[in-house]
């Protein structure tokens, strides 16, 4: 695959920022969108826009076909057994909150355990804190090794027969580590717990097969994988989703409504109250077509190669601290440059047209574990190449010159 050629399909990447060609390295926050996705969304609005599931007219059928077709596309993409297992949500956050509010509040009681890791994004942490507060369940954490990886022995020691839910990110948005989800799932199941996977950072970059992982729930966001903002997915095993109650009530999700009671539609619609994110689903399906045409294995390989190149080149900068393991990581690198505040690093880089993220990356507990308040992060995608890494290194050398006094 040729990243430079692919980049031509992304209109936003063709611009100059602050007098320099844009080098976009903030893909873990959100990815850019190719022409194919922009066109699919605008075609939908120009040709098919209508509300779904209710209209008998032609546009109503077109919109419904497009929306339900997108569900089929998602199901195939992640290897789900049926479209009934695919719930469209606003994103990973909403998907994880749905599992916490519906499944976990019912399943957990006083003294039961919910197992997480300290590297979790706030979206996969706070919903479980809320469940613990509401039910009397206890949060337990699988400890991290000094490079941010987790050991299976520690997973074995943390999950017990009291564990009802294990929820772990597949890929860390800070450390770049790929967690051993399949093994953790197997241990969770041995103790009768359900396995929830935060797939926000894995789905855009790795080939994912939920049935092979055997996880019970899997959440991800469209906007990090070339799709639009505002659309995401919760995959859940059918037998679990069937016994869960909806958390949002209103139009679209009902079967029969009386003045004092109501019944729900079957899966997946009982979880999709209100007018759904139709154009978002259409855009997500187009993004999946785009990614699969390139090939998820090719994307994964390209990013791993780029990450290794970036790790090597950045390591040569005196005074830099790189976080996470040296190998077995995805295409993102989190770092600090001496005592320079990451916001200052990002500001100097921005003046060079280079977009990186700085802050706590929605992982405050992990920042405390790393003993920093914030970091900078460069994250790559299929349209980045070695020239972008070289631009980043040059930008960091300039930053160093600018703040020379703050770097030991
Ligand atoms: N989990 C991880 C690992 C993430 O990186 C993110 C987004 O940055 C989320 C969850 C939340 O995703 P969203 O904001 O799309 O709901």
> Cα–Cα distance between 370 and 264 in angstroms, integer?
46
Q: Is the CB of 202 under 6 A from ligand 1?
A: no
Query: What is the distance of C-alpha 378 from the center of its chain?
Result: 16
Per the CB < 8 A criterion, the answer to whether 227 and 284 are in contact is yes
> Cα–Cα distance between 230 and 94 in angstroms, integer?
10
* Helix boundaries (H) for 21-57: 35-43
> Cα–Cα distance between 270 and 268 in angstroms, integer?
6
> In this structure, which residue's CA is closest to atom 12 in ligand 1?
92
The CATH classification number of 3-32+295-406 equals 3.90.1150.10
> Cα–Cα distance between 326 and 309 in angstroms, integer?
11
Q: Are strands 262-264 and 254-257 parallel, antiparallel or unpaired?
A: antiparallel
Which run of H or of E encompasses 310? helix 296-315
CB atoms within 10 A of CB 214: 15
Q: Give the residue, out of 221, 228, 229, with the most ligand 1 atoms within 8 A of its beta carbon, to mutate for a pocket test.
A: 221
Q: Which residues does the annotation mark as catalytic?
A: 362
Closest CA to 349 of 3, 30, 24, 33: 24
247, 261, 271 from 254: Cα distances, Å: 12, 11, 10
Q: Is the CB of 221 under 6 A from ligand 1?
A: yes
Q: Is the CB of 201 under 6 A from ligand 1?
A: yes
Task: For residue 407, report the distance from its CA to the centre of ligand 1, in Å.
Answer: 32
Q: Is the CB of 31 under 6 A from ligand 1?
A: no
Radius of gyration of the chain (CA): 22
What values do phi and psi take at 222, rounded to 5? Answer: -70, -35
- Separate counts of helices (H) and strands (E) for the chain: 15, 17
> In this structure, which residue's CA is closest to atom 4 in ligand 1?
200
177, 189, 221 from 216: Cα distances, Å: 21, 10, 17
What pLDDT does residue 408 have?
60
Per the CB < 8 A criterion, the answer to whether 390 and 354 are in contact is no
- Collapsing DSSP to helix, strand or coil, 169 comes out as strand
> Cα–Cα distance between 337 and 372 in angstroms, integer?
12
Provide the terminal-to-terminal Cα distance of the chain, rounded to the nearest Å: 40
Q: Is the CB of 93 under 6 A from ligand 1?
A: yes
Residues forming a β-bridge with 139: 114
Task: For residue 30, report the distance from its CA to the centre of ligand 1, in Å.
Answer: 9
CB atoms within 10 A of CB 138: 15
> Cα–Cα distance between 23 and 164 in angstroms, integer?
44
CB neighbour list of residue 332: distance below 8 Å, 6 or more residues apart: 27, 28, 173, 176, 201, 307, 377, 378, 379, 380
pTM: 0.98
Token look-up 């009681």 returns: 109
Q: Which two tokens stand for residue 69?
A: 């077709």
Closest CA to 285 of 83, 31, 80, 70: 70
What pLDDT does residue 55 have?
73
Q: Which two tokens stand for residue 401?
A: 């010159």
Atom of ligand 1 nearest to the CA of 198: 1
How do residues 284-299 score in pLDDT, each as one tens digit?
Answer: 999 999 999 999 999 9
Per the CB < 8 A criterion, the answer to whether 342 and 336 are in contact is yes
Query: What is the distance of C-alpha 398 from the center of its chain?
Result: 32
Q: Give the residue, out of 30, 90, 92, with the most ligand 1 atoms within 8 A of its beta carbon, to mutate for a pocket test.
A: 92
Task: For residue 110, report the distance from its CA to the centre of ligand 1, in Å.
Answer: 29
- Please list the ranges in the chain whose pLDDT falls under 50: none
Per the CB < 8 A criterion, the answer to whether 295 and 269 are in contact is no
Atom of ligand 1 nearest to the CA of 223: 15
Closest CA to 376 of 356, 354, 400: 356
Task: For residue 221, report the distance from its CA to the centre of ligand 1, in Å.
Answer: 7
Task: For residue 158, report the distance from its CA to the centre of ligand 1, in Å.
Answer: 25
What pLDDT does residue 328 have?
80
What pLDDT does residue 327 have?
83
What pLDDT does residue 406 have?
66
In terms of phi and psi (left: phi > 0; alpha: psi -120 to 50; beta: otherwise), the region of 60 is alpha
Q: Give the residue, out of 167, 200, 357, with the most ligand 1 atoms within 8 A of its beta carbon, to mutate for a pocket test.
A: 200
Q: Which two tokens stand for residue 250?
A: 């209103």
Task: For residue 46, report the distance from its CA to the centre of ligand 1, in Å.
Answer: 31
Q: Is the CB of 228 under 6 A from ligand 1?
A: no
- Collapsing DSSP to helix, strand or coil, 332 comes out as strand
Task: For residue 66, report the distance from its CA to the centre of ligand 1, in Å.
Answer: 26
The CATH classification number of 37-293 equals 3.40.640.10
Domain boundaries, the chain: 3-32+295-406, 37-293
Per the CB < 8 A criterion, the answer to whether 1 and 368 are in contact is no
37-293: same fold as 3-32+295-406? no
Atom of ligand 1 nearest to the CA of 93: 16
């Amino acid at each position: 695959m040729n990243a430079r050629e692919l980049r031509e399909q992304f209109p936003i990447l063709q611009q100059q920022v602050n007098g320099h060609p844009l080098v976009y390295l903030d893909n873990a926050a959100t990815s850019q969108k190719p022409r194919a996705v922009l066109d699919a969304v605008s075609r939908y609005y120009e040709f098919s826009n209508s509300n779904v599931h209710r209209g008998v007219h032609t546009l109503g059928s077109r919109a419904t076909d497009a929306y339900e077709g997108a569900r089929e596309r998602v199901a195939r993409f992640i290897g789900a057994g049926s479209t009934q297992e695919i719930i469209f949500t606003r994103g990973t956050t909403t998907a994880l909150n749905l599992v916490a509010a519906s499944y976990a509040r019912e399943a957990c009681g006083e003294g039961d355990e919910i197992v997480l890791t300290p590297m979790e994004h706030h979206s996969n942490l706070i919903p479980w804190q809320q469940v613990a507060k509401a039910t009397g369940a206890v949060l337990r954490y699988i400890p991290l090794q000094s490079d941010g990886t987790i050991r299976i022995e520690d997973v074995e020691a943390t999950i017990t027969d009291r564990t009802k839910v294990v929820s772990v990110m597949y890929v860390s948005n800070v450390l770049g580590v790929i967690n051993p989800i399949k093994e953790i799932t197997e241990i969770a199941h041995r103790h009768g717990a359900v396995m929830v996977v935060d797939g926000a950072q894995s789905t855009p970059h790795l080939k994912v097969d939920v049935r092979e992982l055997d996880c019970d729930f899997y959440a991800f966001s469209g906007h990090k994988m070339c799709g639009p903002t505002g659309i995401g997915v919760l995959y859940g095993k059918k037998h679990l989703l069937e016994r869960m109650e909806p958390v949002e009530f209103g139009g679209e999700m009902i079967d029969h409504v009386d003045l004092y009671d109501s019944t729900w539609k079957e899966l997946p619609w009982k979880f999709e109250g209100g007018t759904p994110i139709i154009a978002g689903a259409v855009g997500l399906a187009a993004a999946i077509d785009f990614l699969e045409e390139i090939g998820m294995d090719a994307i994964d390989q390209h990013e791993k190669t780029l990450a290794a190149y970036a790790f090597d080149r950045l390591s040569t900068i005196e005074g830099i601290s790189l976080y996470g393991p040296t190998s077995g990581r995805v295409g993102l690198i989190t770092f600090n440059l001496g005592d320079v505040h990451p916001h200052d690093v990002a500001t100097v880089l921005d003046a060079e047209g280079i977009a990186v993220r700085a802050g706590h990356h929605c992982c405050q507990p992990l920042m405390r574990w790393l003993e920093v308040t914030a970091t900078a992060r460069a994250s790559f995608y299929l349209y980045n190449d070695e020239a972008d890494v070289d631009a980043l290194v040059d930008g960091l050398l300039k930053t160093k010159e600018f703040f020379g006094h703050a770097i030991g």
